[in-house]
Chains A and B, each alone.
Chain A
Amino acid sequence: MKLATISKEDFNLYSPWTDKYKPRTISEVVGNKEAKEKIIEWVREWDRKIPKKRALFIYGPPGVGKTAAVEALANDSNMEFIESNASDYRTAEAVKKVAGRASEHATLFGKKRLILFDELDGITGSADHGGVRVITEIVKETRCPLMLIANNAYEPRFSTLRNYCVLIEFKKPSKSDILKYLRKICLGEGMEVEEEALSFIVERTGGDVRSAINDLQALAQGKKQLTYQDVSWLAGRDRKEVIFYVLRSILYARDSTGAKMAVNAADIDPDMLFEWIYENVPYHLKDSKELATAMDALSRADIYRGRVRSTQNWTLIRYFLDLMTAGVAASWSKRSPGWVPFRFPGRIRYLSSEKADRAMLSAIGMKIRRRCHISSVQAVKEVIPYLRIIFENNPEMAAGIAKWLDLDEDMINYLNK
C-alpha cells in the first residue's frame, strides 16, 4: 500500500512521458467519455449517501486509461488516495491491514478518501492467497468509495466480487483521440513530428495509448524532428507486440515461463531479438555481478546457436531461446534503474554507419596490395595505421607514398583526417 503522491522528480527530463503527460484532470483522459461520466456521477453519489454497490469495477484492455482516469479523478476532487497494485503483496492479511482500516473510518478533517485496487489480474493464487476473498469483504463493508481495476472482470475468480460492484468498461479510444494526445506531447517537447509518423505509431499500437506514448518517447526523445522514415523500420517486424514491450517483459519477467512466453508474443526473428536483448541488458542491469551472470547466459545462448549451426540440428534452438530469455531474467534482482529507453541494436547500427569508412579503407587497401604484395585486408590492418602517422607528420614523405601508391584525392584526404 502506498500513498500516491506526485513528486517533482517525476517531471525531470528522463521521466517516462506516460508520467510526464499523465492527465491531471479526468477530462484530459483520452476517449471513453461515457465511462468517465459514469465514474464522476458515482463518486458524487457518495456525497449524498452510501450507494447500494460500494465499489466500481473498471475493466478494459491495457493502456486505455483506466488507472489514469481514477488518479486524475482523485486529483480533481482533492481526495486522499490510497492505492494498491501488483507490486504490493496482497495476501488476505496485507489487504486487511491497510485497506481494511482505511475503509472503516472516515478521514480526519472530513477529507474524502478513495481506495484503489489496481491490477487485480495480478493477484496470484499462491503468493496472494485469499486476497480476492478479503477484497470482497472490504467491498461489502467499505465506508469510502472503492475502485477495482482489471483487464478482464469476467474471470471466474471475480464472480462473487462482481456481484457487489458497478461494472464500467473502458474501450480503446479512437485513433483521432490518441493522435490528438500525442500531438499535445510533441508540442510539450517542442518536437516537430510528421503526421504520418504519429499515425504509424498509433496504428501499430492498436489503441493502447500507453504503448503509443512509450513508443513515441523511445523513438523521438532527444530529437527535434521525427519523420516517417525514423519510425518506419518498425514496420512488419513485430506486429503482434511492440518490441519494447517484449524486451521489457523478458528483462523484467517474474518467472521463467513469463520470460519464455514473451518470445512467442514477439513476431520477430530470434536472432534479431537476441541482438535487442544483448544491446539493452547492460543499460538495465547496473550491478556488475548480475550483469556478468546475464552476459554469461547470453554467451551460453550463443554457444547453443553455434551448435545449431554446426550440427544443423534445429531442436537445439530451444536452449538458445531459454538462455536468452529466462536465463537473463533469472540473473538479476530487477531493481528498476528508472526509465531507460530501449536502444536499437548498436552492432547493426554500427555496421551500417561504418560502411562508408570501411569502403574507403578497403579501396586504399587494394592500392597498397598492388604494390606491397600483401592482401588488402592485411594492408588495412598493418599498413594504413602507419600511413596515417606519416601523413600527419611528414607531408613530403606522404606525397611520395601517395604518388607511388597512386592514391586519389579522396584517399589522401581520408588519410590526412
Chain B
Amino acid sequence: MWTEKYRPATLDDIVNQKEIVERLKSFVQARNIPHCIFAGPPGTGKTTAALCLAHDLYGEGYREYLMELNASDERGINVVRETVKTFARTRSIGEVAFKILILDEADNMTDDAQQALRRTMERYTETARFILIANYSGKIIEPIQSRCAPFRFTYLPREDMVNRVRHICKEEKLKIMEDGIDAILEVSEGDLRRTINILQAAASIGKPIDAETVYSVIGRANPYDVREMLKLAINGDFIGSRNKLRELILKYGLAGSDIIKQVHLEIFRLNIPEKWKVKLADVVGEIDFRLIQGSSEEIQLSALLAKLSEAGYDIKRGF
C-alpha cells in the first residue's frame, strides 16, 4: 500500500507540522521524551510523527522498543491492565532508558480504561513513555491531559498535498492531469492518507488520472455516499431510502453523526428551491440534536428521511 510505502521514515522526511517536528527533534537530541498527546484531524501525520520519533530515537531496530495499540480495537480496561502494564514495566535494554507505547485513537477509550491508564502512566514513567493519538483531545480525561505534553496537528496546506501527490506520481511513473489533482484534493478534505488511497486506486485503473477517473473511484469506494439515499427519500421512496440507511449503518458501520454530517452537506447541493434548502437544514439540525438524546441512530435518521419524503412531495407540487 502506498500509504505505507510513502510514509516518512524519519523526522527529517516530514515536511509539515514544522513546529511540532522541531520540538520532537529536540526530544531526540535530549534522549528523553515526556508523555505526549498528538491531537488533530485524520491524515495529518500524527501516527507518522510518533513512528518517526521512535525511529530517530532508537535507530532502525526501533520496533523492539515500541508497542502500538489501537484503542478502538483494544479499548477495554483489561487491555490496559494486562497488555499495557506488562509492556510498561519491563525495562528497556538499550541506551535509551524507556520504551514507547503508542496508543492510537485514544479518544475511543472507555473512561474506566483511561482511569486505569492514568495510574500506569505514573507508575512506570521510568520504563515507558506514552504517546496518545486522538482526533479530539477533549475526549481524553483531564488527569491524563495534565500529565502529557499536548501537540496540535493541523490540516496540511494544499501546496504540500499537491507536492506529495506529484512526488508519488513521479516515483510510480504515473501520468496525472491537473483536474485529476484538483479532484483528489477536493474529495480528500486535507486527509493525506485518503489522498494517497484514492491515488493508488485511481492508478490501478491504468489510465492517465483525470477528474473523471477520480470521481468514478470515489463513487465506487463510497457506497456510504448518502446522495443515493437522499434521492430515494425526496422522490418519495421512503422504504428504499430506509434500506439504504440500514446498509450504511449496519453493513458499512457508519456512525449516525457521520451520516448526518454528509446529509447536511448534500442538502445544499440538491436541485431544489433555495428556501427549501434552509428549511431542510433546520430539519436536519433538529434530528442531529435528537441523535444525541435518543437511543437509536437508525430511528432518528429514518424520521429525517420521512421528513425529506414529505418535503419532496411538497416541492413537486410547487410549494
Taking Cβ atoms with an 8 Å cutoff, the residues of A that contact B are 278, 282-283, 288-289, 291-292, 294-296, 298-299, 302-303, 305-307, 309, 346-347, 350-351, 354, 357-358, 366, 368-369, 371-378, 380-383, 385-386, 388-390, 393-394, 397-398, 401, 404-405
| Choice from A303, A375, A388 contacting B290 with Cβ under 8 Å | A303
Contacts of B68 in A (CB 8 A): 373
Contact mask for chain B residues 256-291; partner A; CB cutoff 8 A; 1 contact, 0 none: 000000000000000000000000000000010010
Q: Assuming A295-B302, A354-B250, A404-B1, is B313 touching A389 (CB within 8 A)?
A: no
Instruction: Tell me whether B296 is interfacial, beta carbon within 8 Å.
Output: yes
Q: Which of B184-239 contact A (CB under 8 A)?
A: 193-194, 197-198, 200-201, 203-206, 217, 220-224, 236, 238-239
| Choice from B206, B298, B302, B310 contacting A289 with Cβ under 8 Å | B310
Q: Give the complex CA separation of A282 and B68 in angstroms.
A: 47
Instruction: Tell me whether B29 is interfacial, beta carbon within 8 Å.
Output: no
Contact mask for chain B residues 286-319; partner A; CB cutoff 8 A; 1 contact, 0 none: 0100100111101110110111011011000000
> Can you spell out 29 A-B residue pairs with CB atoms less than 8 angstroms apart?
A278-B299, A288-B238, A289-B313, A291-B238, A291-B309, A296-B303, A296-B307, A299-B290, A299-B299, A299-B300, A299-B302, A302-B295, A302-B300, A303-B294, A305-B294, A347-B246, A350-B250, A357-B251, A358-B253, A369-B70, A371-B1, A372-B1, A374-B193, A378-B72, A380-B252, A380-B253, A385-B221, A386-B200, A388-B220
Contacts of A371 in B (CB 8 A): 1, 4
Q: Give the complex CA separation of A358 and B247 in angstroms.
A: 12
Q: Which residue on B lies nearest to A299, using beta carbons?
A: B303
Contacts of B206 in A (CB 8 A): 393-394
Q: How far is the CB of A108 from chain B (nearest CB, A)?
A: 49
Q: Give the complex CA separation of A292 and B313 in angstroms.
A: 11
Q: Assuming A299-B303, A305-B295, A389-B204, is B310 touching A401 (CB within 8 A)?
A: no
CB <8 Å contact, A346 and B246: yes
Instruction: Tell me whether B55 is interfacial, beta carbon within 8 Å.
Output: no
CB <8 Å contact, B294 and A386: no
Q: Give the complex CA separation of A244 and B157 in angstroms.
A: 59
| Choice from A292, A369, A380 contacting B310 with Cβ under 8 Å | A292
Contacts of A358 in B (CB 8 A): 251, 253
Instruction: Tell me whether B117 is interfacial, beta carbon within 8 Å.
Output: no
Contacts of B193 in A (CB 8 A): 374, 382
List 4 extra interface pairs beyond A291-B310, A296-B306, A375-B72, CB under 8 A: A288-B236, A296-B303, A306-B293, A373-B104
| Choice from A296, A346, A374, A385 contacting B223 with Cβ under 8 Å | A385
CB <8 Å contact, A393 and B204: yes
A-B contact count (CB 8 A): 153
Q: Assuming A288-B313, A389-B204, A393-B204, is B299 touching A302 (CB within 8 A)?
A: yes
CB <8 Å contact, A389 and B239: no
CB <8 Å contact, A288 and B221: no
Q: Give the complex CA separation of A388 and B299 in angstroms.
A: 31
Instruction: Tell me whether B51 is interfacial, beta carbon within 8 Å.
Output: yes
Q: Which residue on A lies nearest to B233, using beta carbons?
A: A288
| Choice from B70, B239, B293, B298 contacting A282 with Cβ under 8 Å | B239
Q: How far is the CB of B104 from chain A (nearest CB, A)?
A: 7
CB <8 Å contact, A386 and B217: yes
Q: Which of B46-92 contact A (CB under 8 A)?
A: 47, 51, 68, 70-73
Contacts of A294 in B (CB 8 A): 306
Contacts of A350 in B (CB 8 A): 246, 250-251
Q: How far is the CB of A409 from chain B (nearest CB, A)?
A: 20
CB <8 Å contact, B205 and A302: no
Contacts of A288 in B (CB 8 A): 236, 238, 306, 309-310, 312-313
Q: Give the complex CA separation of A299 and B205 in angstroms.
A: 44
Q: How far is the CB of A295 from chain B (nearest CB, A)?
A: 4
Q: Give the complex CA separation of A278 and B295 in angstroms.
A: 14
CB <8 Å contact, B306 and A292: yes
Contacts of B290 in A (CB 8 A): 299, 302-303
CB <8 Å contact, B252 and A381: yes
Q: How far is the CB of B197 from chain A (nearest CB, A)?
A: 5
Q: Give the complex CA separation of A375 and B134 in angstroms.
A: 12
Q: Give the complex CA separation of A302 and B291 in angstroms.
A: 10
CB <8 Å contact, B306 and A295: yes
Q: How far is the CB of B305 from chain A (nearest CB, A)?
A: 8
Contacts of A378 in B (CB 8 A): 72, 105
Contacts of B4 in A (CB 8 A): 371-373
Q: Which residue on A lies nearest to B47, using beta carbons?
A: A373
Contacts of B129 in A (CB 8 A): none
Q: How far is the CB of A215 from chain B (nearest CB, A)?
A: 23
CB <8 Å contact, B220 and A385: yes
Q: How far is the CB of B111 from chain A (nearest CB, A)?
A: 15
Contacts of B205 in A (CB 8 A): 389, 393-394
Instruction: Tell me whether B242 is interfacial, beta carbon within 8 Å.
Output: yes
Q: Give the complex CA separation of A278 and B245 in angstroms.
A: 14
Q: How far is the CB of B97 from chain A (nearest CB, A)?
A: 25
Q: Give the complex CA separation of A393 and B207 in angstroms.
A: 11
Q: Give the complex CA separation of A347 and B243 in angstroms.
A: 9
Q: Give the complex CA separation of A169 and B11 in angstroms.
A: 92
Q: How far is the CB of B211 from chain A (nearest CB, A)?
A: 16
The list of the 9 closest CB pairs from A to B, nearest first, reads: A299-B303, A295-B306, A385-B221, A394-B204, A292-B310, A306-B295, A386-B201, A390-B204, A375-B70
CB <8 Å contact, A309 and B295: yes
CB <8 Å contact, A347 and B239: no
Q: How far is the CB of B107 from chain A (nearest CB, A)?
A: 12
CB <8 Å contact, A383 and B236: no
Instruction: Tell me whether B32 is interfacial, beta carbon within 8 Å.
Output: no
CB <8 Å contact, B310 and A376: no
CB <8 Å contact, B294 and A306: yes
